[in-house]
Structure 1
Amino acid sequence: MSRVETRLAIITGAARGIGAATALRLAKEGFTVLAADLEDGAELQGVVAEMTAAGGNGLAVAGDVADPGLFPALFDRAESLCGGVDVLVNNAGIMVRKPIAEIDDMEFDRQIAVNLRGTFHGLREASQRMRKGGRIVSVSSSVAALRAENYGIYAATKVGIEAMTASLAKELRGRDITVNAVAPGATGTDLFLNGKSAEAIAAFARLAPLNRIGSPEEIAAVIAFITGPEGGWINGQTIHANGGVV
C-alpha cells in the first residue's frame, strides 16, 4: 500500500516539539497537513515552510482546542480541500508542574480545558466525520503511569485521554477507524525542558535503560507507524514510547 496525495491529516499543537515533528513526517509521506496551534505565528509558519521545502503540503490554522468550534472548522476546511480527514493527531497540551496543594483553580481548569476537553473535542468530531480507514492518535504521557510527584493534574488529564481512547475504539466498531494513544517519556521538547535544571534532565534520562531522553522525531516515527499502512491492526492501545521506563 502507498499513501495517496489526497490524504489529509489534522495535527494540533503543531508549532513545536512532537506536533511539529509529526507534521513534517506526515507531510513527507504524502499527506496534506492542517497544522493547528494556538497562534499562527512565526513558529507555526516555520513548520509550514519546512513542510513545503520537503516537498509536502501544509497549511497553518490558528485556534484553541478548548474552543468547541475549532474542530468543526478544521473538518470543514479538510473536506473542502481533500474531501475529508484521514488522520487526526490530538497533540496540543499544556503542563503545570507543581504540587497539587499549590495549583490554583485557573491552572487546574486550563489544563483540563486544553489537555482533556481539547482532546475530547477532537475525538468527538472525528467519531462523526472521519473517513473510512481513518486513524486517530492522541498524545498521552508516560507520567500517567508513573504518577510522579508535581505532575498530578497533568497526569490526570492524560489518564483521561487513555480512557477515552480505549472507549472510542470500541464505539467505532465496524467503521474501519483505529483509535490509539502514544505516551512519550521524557522528550526534548519545550514542554519538558522549560524550567528544568541540567541535573533534573539528567535524572529523567537515567530512568530509561537507554540512559537518555527521547527526541520529538522518535515520537513522530511511532505516530507515523500507527497512521501508516502497517499500523492498521493496532487499535484501542496506549503505546509507551519512553525508552523502557516502567
Structure 2
Amino acid sequence: MVAPSRIFAPDLLAGQVIVVSGGGTGLGRAAALELVALGAEVVVCGRRPEPLEETVALAGERCRARVCDIREEDDVAAFVDWTLEQHGRIDTLLNNAGGQFLAPAESITPKGFRTVTRLNLDGTWLMTHAVATKAFIPAGEDGRARGGKVISVTLSPHNGLPGMVHSSAARAGVETMMAELSTEWARFGIRCNAIAAGQFGTEVFMTKYPQEMVAAAAGQVPLGRLGRPEEFAWLVAYLASPAGDWFSGATLTLDGGRDHHVGPWPIEGSRDAEGRPLQEARRA
C-alpha cells in the first residue's frame, strides 16, 4: 500500500479516475502515488512497460498501466478507449509525458527539433483532444457534457532554457494551448491549466544530464535547493480536487523562485563584506 498523503485527506479524490502520461518515472510516478493515496483510480501510460509495472507495484490495486506512445494518434485513441472500457469515465488528465536532450541550438538538426516538439507539443495535443472528445465533451445521463480537468506540465524558467530551444518552444506552445482551450472548452465544463515545473531532484534529472549541470542546479534556485517530487504531486492533487475547480487558463510556476532570478540574492557584486545587500547612503 502507498503511504498516506502528508497534506490531504485520504478520501479527497475518492471516485475520480485520473490519467497520468509518463507515469512510469519521476514526477509522473510521484503524482500517481499521491493520487492513489487520496482515493483516486489512476491509469498510467508510457512507452516502456517496465517502469509502468514498477509504478503499479508501488501504487497497488487502484493503479493500472498500459503502454502508449503519445506521439501516435492510433495509440492514444486506443489507450483512451481502453481506459473508458475499464473505468467508464475520466475526470482528470495529467499531461506529464515529455522529454528533451541537451544541445546548443546550432547543433540541433531539423529532425531533432521535430522529435522534441512532436513529443512535448503534438503528444500533449493528441492526449488532450482524445480525452476531451471521448470522455469530457460527450453528454452524461443529465444530457450535459461531463466536463473534466486537463493539467499539462511545462517548464520554468519561462524565458527559455539555454541548450533546450526545442523544448522551450514546445512547452510555451503547451501553455498557450491550455490558455486557449480554457476559453473554448469552458462551455463543456473543461478546466485547462499548466504547471511550469522547475528543476526537481528526480532520478532522471540526477542521472541523465552532465554532472556539472546537476551539481550547479540547486545554486541557480533562489531557495537554494531542487524541488522534491512530492511537492509537484501535491500541486497536481490540489488542482484535481474541488479546491482546484476555479482554476482554468492558469500557469502555476513551481520552481523555488527560479523563474524570476538566477541563484540566491544578493548576487556577487551587490553585497558587502558581511554578505548583506548593498544600499544607498541616505541623506540625514
SS of equivalent to 1:79? helix
Q: Deviations over 1:14-50 (max 9, x none)?
A: 1100110111111111111111010111x21111011
The offset of 1:202, in angstroms, is 3.7
- Considering only CA atoms, is the larger Rg found in Structure 1 or Structure 2? 2
> Which residue type is aligned with residue 189 of structure 1?
T
Residues 4 and 223 from structure 1, CA distance in 2 versus in 1: closer, same or farther, beyond 3 angstroms? closer
Summarize the alignment of residues 63-212 of structure 1 with structure 2, pairs less than 5 Å apart: 63-131=68-136, 132-143=146-157, 145-193=158-206, 194-197=208-211, 199-212=212-225
Separation in 2, partners of 1:4, 1:183: 23
More helix by share: 1
Which of 212, 222, 228 pairs up with 1:215? 228
> Which residue type is aligned with residue 56 of structure 2?
V
> Which residue type is aligned with residue 142 of structure 1?
S
Count of residue pairs brought into register by the alignment: 240
- Asked if 2 retains the 8 angstrom alpha-carbon contact of 1:136 and 1:179, the reply is yes
Give the unaligned 5+ runs of structure 2: 1-8, 137-145, 261-284
Aligned-residue identity in percent: 29
> Which residue type is aligned with residue 235 of structure 1?
S
Partner of 1:233: 246
Higher RCO structure, 1 or 2 (CA under 8 Å, sep 6+): 1
Separation in 1, partners of 2:155, 2:194: 9
Residues 71 and 3 from structure 1, CA distance in 2 versus in 1: closer, same or farther, beyond 3 angstroms? farther
Moved over 4 A (4+): 1-5
> Which residue type is aligned with residue 46 of structure 1?
E
- Asked if 1 retains the 8 angstrom alpha-carbon contact of 2:192 and 2:248, the reply is yes
Separation in 1, partners of 2:196, 2:152: 9
Q: CA RMSD in A?
A: 1.8
Q: Tell me the TM-score normalised to structure 1 length.
A: 0.91
The offset of 1:147, in angstroms, is 1.8
Q: Deviations over 1:184-220 (max 9, x none)?
A: 10111244331222x4234321222210011221111
Partner of 1:44: 52
The offset of 1:13, in angstroms, is 0.6
Residues 109 and 4 from structure 1, CA distance in 2 versus in 1: closer, same or farther, beyond 3 angstroms? closer
Give the unaligned 5+ runs of structure 1: none
Bigger shift: residues 146-155 or 114-123: 146-155
The offset of 1:177, in angstroms, is 1.9
Q: Tell me the TM-score normalised to structure 2 length.
A: 0.80
Q: Deviations over 1:141-176 (max 9, x none)?
A: 104x13232111110010010010101111112222
Separation in 2, partners of 1:81, 1:60: 11
- Asked if 1 retains the 8 angstrom alpha-carbon contact of 2:13 and 2:241, the reply is no
- Asked if 1 retains the 8 angstrom alpha-carbon contact of 2:197 and 2:255, the reply is yes
Residues 204 and 28 from structure 1, CA distance in 2 versus in 1: closer, same or farther, beyond 3 angstroms? same
